[in-house]
Structure 1
Amino acid sequence: MSAQEDDDPERFRWLAEGNARQARKRVSAKVVICDEDGRVLLVNPTYKQYWDLPGGMAEANESPIAAALREVAEELGFTARIGGLLLVDWVAAHGPWDDLLVFVFDGGTVGGDDLLRMSVTDEELSDFAFFSLEAAKARLRPDMWSKLRRAVAAKRVGAVLYEEFHHSRPG
């Protein structure tokens, strides 16, 4: 597009109207962080029945990586080191919720000073801890366990996975 087209107020208005009518997607960014023993970091939200991976919802016009970094910092007072993308999961609309894209990133391995810096710094959490995969499975909602399991598998083989999760709907 030429600079002249960028400066055309009528074209800009037309583009803005088209943008306003397009669908919006909710985006969540989660992080798989392990300790030196290979255990996975989970957080215990006060507003959910189950534990969860660190991370949360992206804000308007925030990239998934920026959301992951912000959420981990807000929740645990810790600056994560985000590596590659491990998993993208599309979650179908369910209950009152529209559909959602979940990005799961590799947060690497933490130890030493990083562990000492971690603490619950958000009233949305009551606790955090590192768990073996088997112990994590017992604490996570089944769909989140599936995301963690697939993200860990992707990390092992150096892949990025994409999948779709469809909630069961009453017939």
Structure 2
Amino acid sequence: MSGDEVADEPLYVRDPEAWREQLAEGNRFQARKRVASKILIRDEQDRLLLVDPVYKPFWDLPGGMAEANEPPHRAARRELNEEVGLLVEMGELLSVEWVPPREPWDDLLMFVFDGGVVTSQKARELRPRDPELRAIGWYTFEQAIGLLREDVGERTRRALWALEENTFVYRYGG
């Protein structure tokens, strides 16, 4: 092989370790996205499970921030268990939303998953387990809209639509 042929080879062929170092260097400077996951849980009366966090003025869907290198579906499942002690089989992804920066936070990716339907008996047994929660409750969508921040209400509406239509939604811009 002539010198010209070697120069035409990609860096990952010529020097795999140098290629790995180049990728690692690029990774150090790339943007990091915060990831949050919510889970849509319904009871047999088609009411939604909402949580009342002590650190927010509005109610919310169960869920929260993903930990480092945690997949979004596992974050939703973990958060649900931590918050109310409920373990569910994760259903389909209903929506992904890019949420723009909002003081003091950077932007984030918000996932909403289908958590299925729990029996009325199970719904009555659930209690807040996390000190971050003041209360939990079961609400119709119409009732929930009055408790949720406007953007969370819209996110919930889109997730319910996706569930009904057996699809998923991507939204950006908050």
**TM-score in same-fold range (> 0.5):** yes
Please show how residues 137-156 of structure 1 align to structure 2 within 5 Å: 137-156=145-164
Q: Which runs of 4+ in 1 moved over 4 A?
A: none
Kept in 2, the 8 Å contact 1:27–1:102? The answer is yes
Partner of 1:118: 126
Q: What's the secondary structure of 1:59's corresponding residue?
A: coil
More helix by percentage: 2
TM-score, length-scaled by structure 1? 0.89
Kindly name which structure, 1 or 2, has the bigger radius of gyration based on alpha carbons.
2
Higher mean C-alpha deviation, range 96-105 or range 9-18: 9-18
**Residue of structure 2 aligned with 1:41, choices 49, 58, 77:** 49
Q: Which structure 2 residue ranges, 5 or more long, are not aligned?
A: 1-11
**Residue of structure 2 aligned with 1:23, choices 26, 31, 34:** 31
Kept in 1, the 8 Å contact 2:55–2:132? The answer is yes
In structure 1, how many angstroms separate the alpha carbons of the residues matched to 2:75 and 2:86?
A: 14
Kept in 1, the 8 Å contact 2:43–2:120? The answer is no
- 1:108 is aligned with what amino acid? G
In structure 1, how many angstroms separate the alpha carbons of the residues matched to 2:114 and 2:153?
A: 16
In structure 2, how many angstroms separate the alpha carbons of the residues matched to 1:23 and 1:117?
A: 42
Partner of 1:97: 105
Cα distance, 1:163 vs structure 2: 0.7
Aligned length: 162
Q: What's the secondary structure of 1:69's corresponding residue?
A: helix
In structure 2, how many angstroms separate the alpha carbons of the residues matched to 1:119 and 1:152?
A: 24
Q: What's the secondary structure of 2:136's corresponding residue?
A: strand
Higher mean C-alpha deviation, range 61-70 or range 92-101: 92-101
Cα distance, 1:115 vs structure 2: 2.8
Matched, 1:74 2:82: yes
**Residue of structure 1 aligned with 2:60, choices 38, 52, 56:** 52
- 1:78 is aligned with what amino acid? L
